[in-house]
Structure 1
């Protein structure tokens, strides 16, 4: 998904107010004389704002969890220098450098670009309690945009309503992206400071999770109840973290929304030539020269390289990632972590539709050529015949979008659920079926639609969900409460849902989120059986 968006001395006791939610013996939240909340971090105090319908959510934007990476490109993130004077944390920090992306009309409500800089390792916190002794579930959101674009500051990710309705702590963050976060340079230099360059973006997330653990009490949360969740590229990052020994113990539950494509990362055999090509394109002869390039020149070279600034994944480097996350099976590092995983019904109507409008009106004669990019070595005629038998009411465009959706999203989500269900922790599968009315209804249930509901942010998402209605709020109520329940207990069941069983490859129980939610065993089973048999594993490139 290409949503570009993102996200500061100690006052004396005489100048501070105590909030009503403080409990006996607990550290009371700090507040400035003007009533702004103050968060006392390990590095120094920051002041935020109070937001939400009840004005009870303490919000801190642009909180530094690591030092600037400027001058330390391709190196592990360092701790920030401490400060003593209270810094404002009311504006999002800079986004990490990335290639420009085009505007997507349905994302207009979420747009919140704040500019880019190599000083970009910031996080954002929404919480109803500061040092009040309560142990709220902490939900850490990982943004979309693959491993190449995006930030934690999208209006769609605003955590006020989620924190308010569930009394949970919501955290979003920025981390290094693209060649700055995932260039594998270990085979191109002997300098040990670049040894981890292939996974710096994911290691930045680990550092942010360490910040969350170390500040859980201050932000009113429970360090032993942390859920990582994300959509699209964010879900891929969730899957990657589930394979990282460095992340063990930093989260307790995981939610992967429409992004189970990190079943496997790059190997050095794939990643090294990409890094070498970047150096050649940049006209440098050493990693040191690449690290010293002006950032604008670096981004330009990255976009001209073979990757086009968009072809990056974590690397199985034998250090932070020692084996693939979900290939050939679920990594044992996270065997005890419950997983909630799923997709939207018509994911590719966004990228494959809005990006190429002609795909909304395909003929049967045009379909075979369109499907070749997604079918791999499969017999396209057999794919089409099987889909027409499974869905007699489909036209050629319907077949195209559903095959593309299965190849890029649904198929890998099923594999992740199947492989994870062989471990001890529970797995829950969902599918969102509610259709958005925008674009004349032609998008149906596209990629990223779930974000508005999970965050209970339909009022901030009208360009995507349409006007606020009882229907859109109903969907937000259903999904946000299920996500909160899962974060609280590892079980997404709520009174508003039918009984939601765990997933296994025999029954394939799946919660279908719509106005009237229902559990269906193996939904669209004929399609699943056909495409699992014929299509290659993983995303199309």
Structure 2
């Protein structure tokens, strides 16, 4: 007679938790790694949760951080479930063997969403395929928007990033009880999650906690404090309160979210604008993360895999017909992109010479993608040859106009292409063979640091997924990136629109309004 399988139970520093088995994988959901960040803890660094007696059920996703919904234009492509409740600093664990001593490799996922949206409850991020293939996978919720990244004179900066550090410390201390090896932790994240990983790798408090890291469509960076400060001040003006954490802590959460959405609606990856972001704070982020990681001082022994999608910009511009609008605006949109990228007219001329068939939106989109992603990731790989691996995702969505857009690779990385939420972006009929290849690559890298192609060197090897059979191209974006000067320089006068006035200052804000590019997609 076969013995019945009992529900898995694991110990944590704060009490025992009980999960369940799904397809042979032990799953624990909604485990608190920090106390609810509300009441007197609002806008403060995370604190340990209250310990509990007995065994706590960990069967359902925990509450998600306060966040506004996606607009209708973007909700048709992106899913973002909301789970109500205060205890939003929680995480989930999928493990093939919840026995202490199994010493399996660990992967910790940080979701994207422009630091204003997203959660670990998105079905695309289900960790069962990783556990099936011998990985203990953890996904994390953290504070978002003004709650997590507001910049105030009376509170420490970057509380959302501090949440992520607290979760990483929890994993390092606790994951052995779930079968994981705390000495083989790979951080991986996409977009804002990848940007967060860059900051964590550079943070003095996180040194020694991570063995490897994967940055998907997001570079190490710190935002401009003035941009974040402007967001907070504009919100304060609308709310008629001081721009302080103490005053914001008294505001109802729903009102704060509505105000945040109203103030941030004009931000965009194409033309910038005020937005929430990680800032240099002299403590957790003592200097720009890219600088810290490229001078050899921070995370020197951490192996890196990083990359982008071929058409990142299409998720920013296709919803709501923005792609066509940029093409119609022509020189005005191109001037805005030049100002955004701090370049003169020689750069877009070079792009058009390399790609004479490209329209304005393609030129603008690829310029901005190179500015935001490919240039800093190239710089990071150049600083760490031999231990860095670079990829490009090039499979085009089966949905019209999306191409190989931002976030499309996620269903392949997690091998969740059958989920309806993955099909919202990929369409029907996404190739399982590509998921097998990409998911297997992520597993191999987390297991032994070798994804299957040569590490970065002077030839700039880039593994291309989805454009025919997987292959390694040498320097596929080198011609475009060579157009950029090594250091910023004063831009040439921007081409003037029909009225003869270059779009600077107030005029630039008018361009943003004409494009109507929502802040929700500054970073997915």
TM-score by length of 1: 0.81
**2:336 is the counterpart of 1:373:** yes
Per-residue CA distance 1:219-270 (angstroms, 9 max, x = gap): 100000000001111111111111111111221111100111x423334x55
> Which of 64, 75, 93 is the equivalent residue of 2:32?
64
The 3-state SS of whatever aligns with 2:177 is: coil
Take 1:276 and 1:464, find their aligned partners in 2: how far apart are those partners? 35
Take 1:38 and 1:104, find their aligned partners in 2: how far apart are those partners? 42
The 3-state SS of whatever aligns with 2:404 is: coil
Aligned residue pair count: 478
What is the aligned partner in structure 2 of residue 348 from structure 1?
A: 313
- In the alignment, structure 2 segments of 5+ residues that lack a partner are 268-273, 491-520
| 1:100 Cα deviation from its structure 2 partner | 2.8
Per-residue CA distance 1:497-539 (angstroms, 9 max, x = gap): xxx22113x31111111241111111043222225679889x9
Take 2:126 and 2:251, find their aligned partners in 1: how far apart are those partners? 35
Contact 1:253 1:487 in 2 (8 A): yes
What is the aligned partner in structure 1 of residue 370 from structure 2?
A: 406
Per-residue CA distance 1:261-310 (angstroms, 9 max, x = gap): x423334x555555445444433345423223222233334345578897
Change (3 A) 1:41 1:328: closer
Contact 2:315 2:406 in 1 (8 A): yes
What is the aligned partner in structure 1 of residue 82 from structure 2?
A: 114
Change (3 A) 1:61 1:265: same
Take 1:167 and 1:358, find their aligned partners in 2: how far apart are those partners? 42
Where does 1:31-110 land on structure 2 (aligned, <5 Å)?
35-51=6-22, 55-71=23-39, 72-103=41-72
The 3-state SS of whatever aligns with 1:124 is: strand
Change (3 A) 1:127 1:468: farther
**2:144 is the counterpart of 1:208:** no
Contact 1:128 1:167 in 2 (8 A): yes
| 1:329 Cα deviation from its structure 2 partner | 6.0
Take 1:34 and 1:528, find their aligned partners in 2: how far apart are those partners? 56
The 3-state SS of whatever aligns with 1:39 is: strand
| 1:399 Cα deviation from its structure 2 partner | 2.7
What is the aligned partner in structure 2 of residue 283 from structure 1?
A: 240
What is the aligned partner in structure 2 of residue 513 from structure 1?
A: 465
Contact 2:202 2:293 in 1 (8 A): no
When structure 1 is superposed on structure 2, of 62-71 and 221-230 the one drifting more is: 62-71
> Which of 240, 244, 256 is the equivalent residue of 1:298?
256
Change (3 A) 1:289 1:115: same
Contact 1:77 1:204 in 2 (8 A): yes
What is the aligned partner in structure 1 of residue 223 from structure 2?
A: 265
Contact 1:97 1:118 in 2 (8 A): no
Take 2:522 and 2:10, find their aligned partners in 1: how far apart are those partners? 45
Contact 1:146 1:236 in 2 (8 A): no
Take 1:434 and 1:479, find their aligned partners in 2: how far apart are those partners? 12
Change (3 A) 1:532 1:141: farther
| 1:361 Cα deviation from its structure 2 partner | 8.8
Per-residue CA distance 1:19-57 (angstroms, 9 max, x = gap): 9xxxxxxxxxxxxx8832222222222222211xxx211
Where does 1:381-420 land on structure 2 (aligned, <5 Å)?
382-420=346-384
Change (3 A) 1:167 1:360: farther
Change (3 A) 1:112 1:182: closer
Contact 2:14 2:49 in 1 (8 A): yes
When structure 1 is superposed on structure 2, of 285-294 and 169-178 the one drifting more is: 285-294
Take 1:105 and 1:289, find their aligned partners in 2: how far apart are those partners? 32
Contact 1:57 1:128 in 2 (8 A): yes
Contact 1:343 1:413 in 2 (8 A): no
> Which of 163, 179, 182 is the equivalent residue of 2:146?
179
> Which of 123, 126, 140 is the equivalent residue of 2:94?
126
The 3-state SS of whatever aligns with 2:49 is: coil
Take 1:95 and 1:41, find their aligned partners in 2: how far apart are those partners? 21
Change (3 A) 1:287 1:206: closer
Contact 1:459 1:468 in 2 (8 A): no
What is the aligned partner in structure 1 of residue 481 from structure 2?
A: 528
Take 1:475 and 1:531, find their aligned partners in 2: how far apart are those partners? 33
Take 2:387 and 2:482, find their aligned partners in 1: how far apart are those partners? 23
Contact 1:106 1:464 in 2 (8 A): no
Take 2:331 and 2:55, find their aligned partners in 1: how far apart are those partners? 62
Which of structures 1 and 2 has the larger relative contact order (alpha carbons within 8 angstroms, sep 6+)?
A: 2
Cα RMSD, aligned residues only: 2.9
Per-residue CA distance 1:400-450 (angstroms, 9 max, x = gap): 4322332333233223323444xxx611111111122122xx211111011
The 3-state SS of whatever aligns with 2:170 is: helix
What is the aligned partner in structure 1 of residue 516 from structure 2?
A: none
Contact 2:348 2:367 in 1 (8 A): no
> Which of 118, 125, 142 is the equivalent residue of 2:110?
142
What is the aligned partner in structure 1 of residue 187 from structure 2?
A: 228
- In the alignment, structure 1 segments of 5+ residues that lack a partner are 1-17, 20-32, 494-499
Change (3 A) 1:535 1:158: farther
Contact 1:408 1:540 in 2 (8 A): no
What is the aligned partner in structure 1 of residue 456 from structure 2?
A: 503
Change (3 A) 1:491 1:38: same
Take 1:435 and 1:170, find their aligned partners in 2: how far apart are those partners? 28
Contact 1:263 1:416 in 2 (8 A): no
Contact 1:330 1:416 in 2 (8 A): yes
Contact 2:227 2:276 in 1 (8 A): no
The 3-state SS of whatever aligns with 1:125 is: strand
TM-score by length of 2: 0.83
